Structure 1
Amino acid sequence: MTRLKIVHTTSYLYNGGVARSYNEARLTPLSRDGQMVLENSVKVAPSSAAVGSYSDYWGTRVTTFDLQHWHEKMNVTATTTVEVDRSRPAPKADAVDWETLRSGEVTDACAEWLAPTRLTEIGDEVRAAVSHAAEGLWPADAAPAVMAWMRGEMKYVKGVTGVTTNAEQAWRQRTGVCQDLAHLGVGALRSLGIPARYVSGYIHPNPEAPVEETVAGQSHAWLEWWDGQWNSWDPTNHKPAGNLHVTVAAGRDYRDVSPLRGILSGGGGAAPQVTVAITRVA
């Protein structure tokens, strides 16, 4: 069991004044699959913001806020304490075969986890390679085989992609960050007919850090696939999500789970400054 405190701060200093803005933040971790949120708050400055919350279609906790007066900067700070224990996996469900995956019952229930999206789109080259990697295997073995194939083909490189880069573009470069690797993995699995979803959250980067030491953490992305039950995989670190992973949201791709987005009047543009501080408190 690991208990983590996460402070995620996003700051905007606009090039000009903003008359009004409407925003959504997906910064509250989920209580599910081996993790329990003990405390959470999302604070907005200026403090005059009108703040609300709701659960979206995917089950993500969304904080909404709007500012109806002139402002030149905005700050959003989400603070969470979460307990994570994935050391005791759930009882293994019976693995399904390809016929079951292709049945109407499964394709209807998992339609949103099977359809390609703009960000998970893959080309013929990836589709052929994935089909070859999975040849002769049951779905429960095919998915890890696809992840092993990806590990041999893709390199983690910062600064060469952006939030609009799709899986096919990342594949052509053979490089990307966690978001790109997750999109490529999701697209590859869906091409086989294996339901897959994109997961966003955090990862503590240093398992050797002592209790109470605060480190620079990271927003992170990985994926989950269904072969009779949901299984996680972090293609950046080549392993399932563990006690240093904290899940915030799951969706079809990044656009369903982006941490902060909104519309505003004025501003003249601004690049957000983001910091994530993580402390292992137990």
Structure 2
Amino acid sequence: MRYRVRHITEYSYGAPVSLCYNMAHLLPRDTHNQRCIYQKVQINPPPVYQSEGEDYFGNQTFYFSIQEAHKKLVIDVRTDFEISAIDVTALLKNSLLTCGELRALLDMPTTPELRMAKEYLLDSPQIRRSDDLKDYAQSLFTDQACVLQAAMDFTHKIFSEFKFDPNTTTVATPLEQVLKQRSGVCQDFAHLAIGCLRSVGIPARYMSGYLETLPPPGQEKLVGADASHAWFAVYTPEFGWVEFDPTNDVMPNEQHIVTAWGRDYADVSPLQGVIFEGGGSQQLSVSVDVRRV
């Protein structure tokens, strides 16, 4: 499957900004089943400095600075991907490693991959392990349960027991509040799942990207109707990192496009930076369009 993605981020400021420095996670990364074949970044006003690189997690980044007064900043990113299908049914069927066996391997890691995976058992800027999170998940992640099947069952549990509601949380909403109110958005559900998994000793990381959405039969797809999406991945020595989407109760496949991964949203936020002088009130507008080519 081939996709074309256009992601437009627009900031409007109440007062002119004289100078800004920014780092963006908007460029796609190659994975075992995804390959980027084209990418183009346009920034207005034009930056005086721009460079691309990689962060600690291997995600593509680009840095830029604008040194002229501006009341609007527009970042227009266009990318083309090729994505191959994953036999997720076979993954679940052929996975034999139990949660108890995985925890034992992590206690005495013998490979670089296991040692690196232990990083995703620790607390991170937006995710803290807790007894409440452990209590919510531990019945599914017993020592005898297969890791991937337990993760799929847990994905279904979140999907069934939580309501998607963009009006009940913000980027800073604590996981305990999300757990209590049983509502949130994809970022909340990914953070919740990761916090629960780490609390029961299973490595989990945050996945950021896009999800193709298809219109009802007979209706035209609206430009810009897609959005950034978040899900999580679990590590096993058998298959590496395996992804799960609790917002949609699926294992991601051809319709999920990965841009970045990290410990939580703070590691991979689409745009972060600083502005000098001016700014005042600001409005953010984001438009994402994902199309099959």
TM-score, with length taken from structure 2 = 0.87
**Stretches of structure 2 lacking an aligned partner (at least 5 in a row):** none
Q: Which residue of 2 aligns with 1:162?
A: 170
| Counterpart secondary structure, 1:185 | helix
Quick one: which amino acid aligns to residue 149 of structure 2? Answer: D
> Which residue, 202, 227, 231 being the options, matches 1:222?
231
- State the distance in 1 between where 2:129 and 2:162 align: 14
Shift of 1:214: 6.0
Q: Which residue of 1 aligns with 2:12?
A: 13
> Which residue, 119, 127, 148 being the options, matches 2:126?
119
- 1:188-218 Cα offsets, whole Å, 9 max, x none, are 11111111100000011117789x9664211
| Counterpart secondary structure, 1:86 | coil
Q: Which residue of 1 aligns with 2:53?
A: 54
Quick one: which amino acid aligns to residue 45 of structure 1? Answer: N
Quick one: which amino acid aligns to residue 154 of structure 2? Answer: V
- State the distance in 1 between where 2:235 and 2:217 align: 33
> Which residue, 207, 212, 216 being the options, matches 1:199?
207
Contact 1:146 1:189 in 2 (8 A): no
Contact 1:213 1:279 in 2 (8 A): no
| Counterpart secondary structure, 2:248 | coil
Corresponding position: 1:253 with 2:264: yes
- 1:46-72 Cα offsets, whole Å, 9 max, x none, are 124421111000111101000112222
Contact 2:25 2:62 in 1 (8 A): yes
- 1:165-196 Cα offsets, whole Å, 9 max, x none, are 23222112110000000000111111111111
Corresponding position: 1:100 with 2:105: yes
Contact 1:114 1:195 in 2 (8 A): yes
> Which residue, 280, 286, 289 being the options, matches 1:268?
280
253-262 or 263-272: bigger deviation: 263-272
Question: Aligned in 2, Cα 1:271/1:93: closer, same or farther, shift over 3 Å?
Answer: same
> Which residue, 243, 253, 272 being the options, matches 1:232?
243
Quick one: which amino acid aligns to residue 189 of structure 1? Answer: L
Shift of 1:103: 2.2
132-141 or 60-69: bigger deviation: 132-141
| Counterpart secondary structure, 2:283 | coil
Contact 1:202 1:218 in 2 (8 A): yes
Contact 1:122 1:168 in 2 (8 A): no
TM-score, with length taken from structure 1 = 0.91
Number of residues paired by the alignment? 279
| Counterpart secondary structure, 2:26 | strand
- 1:74-125 Cα offsets, whole Å, 9 max, x none, are 1101100111112456986763613223324476322321102242225423
Q: Which residue of 1 aligns with 2:152?
A: 144
Q: Which residue of 1 aligns with 2:190?
A: 182
- State the distance in 2 between where 1:41 and 1:166 align: 36
66-75 or 84-93: bigger deviation: 84-93
**Stretches of structure 1 lacking an aligned partner (at least 5 in a row):** none
**What does 1:78-97 align with in structure 2 at a 5 Å threshold?**
78-88=77-87, 95=97, 97=101
Contact 2:106 2:115 in 1 (8 A): no
Contact 2:155 2:245 in 1 (8 A): no
**What does 1:62-81 align with in structure 2 at a 5 Å threshold?**
62-81=61-80
- State the distance in 2 between where 1:41 and 1:263 align: 23
Question: Aligned in 2, Cα 1:37/1:202: closer, same or farther, shift over 3 Å?
Answer: same
Contact 1:5 1:82 in 2 (8 A): yes
Shift of 1:33: 2.5
Question: Aligned in 2, Cα 1:17/1:100: closer, same or farther, shift over 3 Å?
Answer: same
Contact 2:213 2:226 in 1 (8 A): yes
88-97 or 69-78: bigger deviation: 88-97
- State the distance in 1 between where 2:30 and 2:121 align: 25
Contact 1:249 1:257 in 2 (8 A): yes
